[in-house]
Structure 1
Amino acid sequence: MLRITLRDGEKAIVNGAVLRAVGRTQIAVENQVSILRGREVMQPEEATTPARQLYFTAMLAYIDPANRSQHQDNIVTLIGNLVATLTAPEARTACIGFAHDIAQGEYYKALSAARELIGFEDVVTEAQAA
């Protein structure tokens, strides 16, 4: 069983349905579901870099199983582009981990690897700006 606590007004997506907490709310999930808390949800306008686009597309694959094959095709293209731009060994290792998680159908776990890739991308962007 998974317990999730949502603050008043916080949103979560459960199997594609958007829920909003009214007051502090605890949810006990007793079976297998696709669930994202509000802070894990990326809006389309936030997908402004290759790593963020990868996260957004993986998120869609996770919460939109009806269109998962289309999202997976997009993921393949995006991960290829990202590998070409991130040259640090740690970043490439994170790309491999992400790809492995996606191949295993572990979409939620892949989102964690994608957040790591966003961090690597941010470091590269900051270094280029300096």
Structure 2
Amino acid sequence: MPLKFVLRPNEKVIINGAVIGAGDRPGSFFLYNTANFLRGREVLKEEQIDSIEKKLYFVIQLVYIFPEDATLNLQRFASILDETRQARPDAAKTLGEIERLVEARNYYRALKLCRKMFKSGDGGTGDGGSADGGTGDDDDAPANDRMP
């Protein structure tokens, strides 16, 4: 079954490294095969990094979007994960789950869980979306997302 996602007017999406944009109207798209994608509202730009949680999100995003540089970025991930564990001992359980998801190459879900940390500031228990692939606007999983 294909994955359907909707882009808002003028929104962009990165699919397997290619940037695709919607026009002035919302558009529905279907992915019929395995693909890595992030909608524009899910992409964190480097200049937006103002916390350790966002730094962690950014490096996971790099691993996900640029698989050709995964080896280097996974090394960076390990280092930033250690920094985050030191800065956020209250989020040990969430960080352990993020590490497990990254090791399983389930980057999209790791990103969602990490985003919840900087939305809620409480170690991932806020209401910033579902880490289990719920049906909210922000919860569409990419076509290559593996169920836990």
Q: Residue 84 of structure 1 corresponds to which residue in structure 2? A: 86
Q: Residue 55 of structure 1 corresponds to which residue in structure 2? A: 57
Q: What is the percentage of aligned positions where both structures have the same residue?
A: 26
1:74 is matched with which residue: 76, 92, 98? 76
* Counterparts in 2 of 1:73 and 1:43: CA distance versus 1, 3 Å: same
**Cα distance, 1:47 vs structure 2:** 1.4
Q: Residue 3 of structure 1 corresponds to which residue in structure 2? A: 4
TM-score, normalising length: structure 1: 0.88
The aligned length equals 121
Q: Which runs of 4+ in 1 moved over 3 A?
A: none
Q: Which stretches in structure 2 are left out of the alignment for 5+ residues?
A: 124-148
Q: Which stretches in structure 1 are left out of the alignment for 5+ residues?
A: 125-130
Q: Residue 113 of structure 2 corresponds to which residue in structure 1? A: 113
Query: Using the alignment, how far apart are the partners of 2:50 and 2:17 within structure 1?
Result: 23
Q: Please state whether the residue corresponding to 1:36 is helix, strand or coil.
A: strand
The structure whose residues are more often helix, as a share, is 1
Query: Which structure has the larger Rg over C-alpha atoms?
Result: 1
Query: Using the alignment, how far apart are the partners of 1:42 and 1:123 within structure 2?
Result: 20
TM-score, normalising length: structure 2: 0.77
Q: Please state whether the residue corresponding to 1:3 is helix, strand or coil.
A: strand
CA RMSD of aligned residues (A): 1.4
**Cα distance, 1:7 vs structure 2:** 1.4
